[in-house]
Amino acid sequence: MPASRTARAAAQLPPYVRHPLSAEHAWSVAARSHVWLLVVVAAVVVAALLRLPPVLNADFPLNDGGLFYRMVEELRDAHYRLPATTSYNGAGIPFGYPPLGFYLAALVSSATGQPLIDVVRVLPAVVSTLTVPVFFLLARALLGSAAEGAVATLAFALLPRTFAWFIMGGGLTRAPGFLFALLLLHQAYLMYTRPERRYVATTAVVGALAVLAHLENAWFAAYSAALLLLLYGRDRRGFVRSVIAAVGVLVLSAPWWATVISYHGLHAFAAAAQGGGLVSDPTWLKTFNFTDEPQLTLFGALGLVGVFAAVARRQWLLPLWLGAIYLLNPRNPKTVAAVPLAMLVALALHHVIVPGILRLSWREDAAPPSPGRRTGFAPLIVAVMLALFTAYSFLSVRRIRDFDEGYGVLTPADRETFRWISTNTPPDAKIMVLSFAPAWFGYDRVTEWLPALTRRTSVSTVQGYEWLPNHEFDRRIRRYDALRACATRDIGCVERWANVGGTPFTHVLFRKEGCCARLESSLRASPAYRLIADRPDAAVFVRTGSP
């Protein structure tokens, strides 16, 4: 073909063929035809299908939430005035948790007439689903494209880390905290990039709601907003607006934190800030394997491609954001890292994957496409890719229920045992729970829910102790792990555990889980224990003396 004809033919090619490293043409077609809106709707539907069925098919809150359930009861009994402490586990734990989720659950239960336990079961999953459209607002603003934001939202809806911990009973505080953290970042970005002063007020309001919902997610929102200030508000106006918004957050959230300080001083907040330590592998960013996908780590691979695409295009926000999370959010980084990761997935698809596939579909020796076909092929390719991507990810992510750290509920048999304990043991009973759950303490349902449902003390429960001084939370975590080591030994191991830690107990609740035959037989044979209830799934002993 002569050079002039080649040039003319090239000029007629679609932009995604002439410039194979850019997909602006394909996305602009999608944006003009509002295909992106369908993608967002699909993302919300997919999110609901992943988040709601596990809780709707259960008759009790998933996994944890016993502490929060009891605190909501106490808040309601106090006529919505914050108590000084919670009676949970008889430990004098400060009523210091941000209370927004508690108020929300109590009000929903009162307004609908639904039992509080059902509200604690369902509400976290509903709020978690609502984070998906809120994330779209943020992604569209930061990426500068509705189409890219829609694809990022689809990835966000499918990432296990964006809902796994939020639909449990403990998601009563975590889910609203995550939602308002995302909304705060959206409003902060608008505050720095738009001239209207109203965004200062909206940033302060949603910032206060984030603080009142969950401190850890509020911290994520705070340093992420500081990064937005560094990149988009680096002038006098941005600084002044930041100060005004921060003061507004403090003032609007003062009724809560000032009340807690009046009861306990700053000690409770200092203890909560220190408790917990590292609960995830600190090498997660080095390996870029932090998505919790049960099969191929598709999101992780696409996110890594997105990092290179962002650096190549000098879009520094998302890579810097991941680095900030690595440095500043050591307690639970993988969950919040899903936010920039979902946007990096969209960048990878937009700037690398889709253009590369579309380039392969064009033959250099072929005639230019007709005007009628020039824009039809790209949306079809994108639609098929997104459909396959969604189907694979959806089917893969659903396997999260089969993980060792999967979902479960306190069984009806356990609840019946709790009712027996609450009526047949003295109120000051101190119960040693031998359940040996297969995962971290957050999944030990029996140990957490026993104090909430029986009003008795569990000597091995961990929840809530982060609000006590002298690193009590970390000490109890270590003690919890040490007790689990007794699963394959005899009752002497449990006795030594109690003596070393100075932990007296009066009763033993032994869960019959098929793991601890030696421990059970030694417990039944010991003259220091008397069997007082032998149920299908558990046995209750009273301690009558020393072995």
Digit-coded pLDDT (tens) for 51-99: 999 899 999 999 899 999 999 999 999 999 999 999 999 989 999 999 9
Q: Which amino acid is at 535?
A: R
Pairing of strands 430-434, 85-86: unpaired
Residue 329: Cβ within 10 Å count: 20
Taking the C-alpha atoms of residue 284 and residue 334, their distance in angstroms, rounded to an integer, is: 8
Q: Would you say residue 135 has pLDDT above 90?
A: yes
What six digits make up the tokens of 442?
């957050």
- pLDDT tens for each residue of 213-262: 999 999 999 999 999 999 999 999 999 999 999 999 999 999 999 999 99
Rounded average pLDDT over 488-512: 91
Q: What is the pLDDT of residue 237?
A: 95
Q: Which of 129-143, 275-289, 520-534 has the lowest mean pLDDT?
A: 275-289
| pLDDT grade for 431, boundaries at 50, 70 and 90 | very high
Q: Would you say residue 141 has pLDDT above 80?
A: yes
Q: What is the pLDDT of residue 299?
A: 82
Q: What is the pLDDT of residue 32?
A: 55
Instruction: State how far Cα 152 lies from the chain centre.
Output: 17
| pLDDT grade for 438, boundaries at 50, 70 and 90 | low
Q: Would you say residue 16 has pLDDT above 80?
A: no
Rounded average pLDDT over 501-524: 88
Residues contacting residue 66 through CB under 8 Å, at least 6 positions apart: 88, 169, 445, 448, 449, 450, 451, 452, 453, 463
Pairing of strands 430-434, 93-94: unpaired
Q: Which residue, among 447, 409, 414, has the nearest Cα to 55 in the 3D structure?
A: 409
Residues contacting residue 134 through CB under 8 Å, at least 6 positions apart: 179, 182, 183, 186
Per DSSP, 233 falls in state -
Taking the C-alpha atoms of residue 339 and residue 8, their distance in angstroms, rounded to an integer, is: 44
| pLDDT grade for 409, boundaries at 50, 70 and 90 | confident
Taking the C-alpha atoms of residue 413 and residue 416, their distance in angstroms, rounded to an integer, is: 5
- Residue 132 in contact with residue 39, Cβ under 8 Å? no
Taking the C-alpha atoms of residue 394 and residue 427, their distance in angstroms, rounded to an integer, is: 48
Per DSSP, 96 falls in state -
Q: What is the pLDDT of residue 313?
A: 87
Taking the C-alpha atoms of residue 473 and residue 164, their distance in angstroms, rounded to an integer, is: 23
Q: What is the pLDDT of residue 488?
A: 86
3-class SS of residue 529:
strand
Calculate ∠ Cα 357-373-11, nearest 5°: 75
Residue 398: Cβ within 10 Å count: 15
Taking the C-alpha atoms of residue 334 and residue 289, their distance in angstroms, rounded to an integer, is: 9
Calculate ∠ Cα 397-129-39, nearest 5°: 75
Residue 245 parent element (H or E): helix 236-264
Percent over 90 (pLDDT), the chain: 56
| pLDDT grade for 31, boundaries at 50, 70 and 90 | low
Q: Which of 13-17, 70-74, 272-276, 406-410 has the lowest mean pLDDT?
A: 13-17
Taking the C-alpha atoms of residue 299 and residue 337, their distance in angstroms, rounded to an integer, is: 12
Q: Would you say residue 481 has pLDDT above 60?
A: yes
Sheet containing 529-534, strands listed edge to edge, beginning at the edge strand earlier in sequence: 457-458, 430-434, 507-511, 538-543, 529-534
Q: What is the pLDDT of residue 400?
A: 52
Q: Which residue has the higher pLDDT, 141 or 7?
A: 141
pTM of this prediction exceeds 0.85: yes
Rounded average pLDDT over 315-328: 91
Q: Which amino acid is at 185?
A: L
- Residue 69 in contact with residue 417, Cβ under 8 Å? no
Taking the C-alpha atoms of residue 426 and residue 156, their distance in angstroms, rounded to an integer, is: 49
Q: What is the pLDDT of residue 332?
A: 77
Rounded average pLDDT over 352-362: 71
Q: What is the pLDDT of residue 272?
A: 85
Could you tell me how many helices (H) and strands (E) the chain has, helices first? 24, 7
Q: Would you say residue 208 has pLDDT above 70?
A: yes
Q: What is the pLDDT of residue 540?
A: 95
Residue 337 parent element (H or E): helix 333-348
Bridge partner list, 539? 510, 534
Percent over 70 (pLDDT), the chain: 80
* Longest Cα–Cα distance in the chain: 101
- pLDDT tens for each residue of 458-468: 998 999 999 99
